[in-house]
Structure 1
């Protein structure tokens, strides 16, 4: 069984791959290749966040693997997180849209509050 075949089945009907690539503290200039290599190795879950400062590189890696036909957008489960300075109701959508723009995606599969502690802006 390939790593991308191992999933958790949610009550919503969605499947979440149990093995994923975390991108926190990934060295600048190396994140795109890490995403490419992970997808080539069978990873189908990518975890990112606005505060990591590397969403554009993550998105570039995803775009390359979608463009070359290795995966479709629907093949990967993308998780991203709302940073602590965006916890006010009116700022959550702003943060999500910024992450989507950085990643070059139309949607996220899971959007989380990064930590349950909001920071003042």
Structure 2
């Protein structure tokens, strides 16, 4: 976890004592959760595989590389993560809303009408 826009002395103070373990624990939970969620998306096969794999890789890298200085690689990783999230959301949007029929039969009578 990275504390942005904070003086280095404040960051050092936050990372001393018991808050250090809370911050590190939150980072570990985030990375492990991202990996497990990404693996479950890939294994389920419901969402597009390239976008699910991209989500798993790029969002894990965002968490792990967040404390490094800005570079071309970190910027490219942010763009790739955005592309993966947009691809995933587009695939969900294309699937329709819950409760809507996915198959529309034309020219036939529906039961009960």
Same fold (TM over 0.5): no
TM-score band by shorter chain is: under 0.3
What is the TM-score with the length of structure 2 in the denominator? 0.25
TM-score (norm 1): 0.24
More helix by share: 2
Q: Hey, which of these two has a bigger chunk of strand by percent?
A: 1
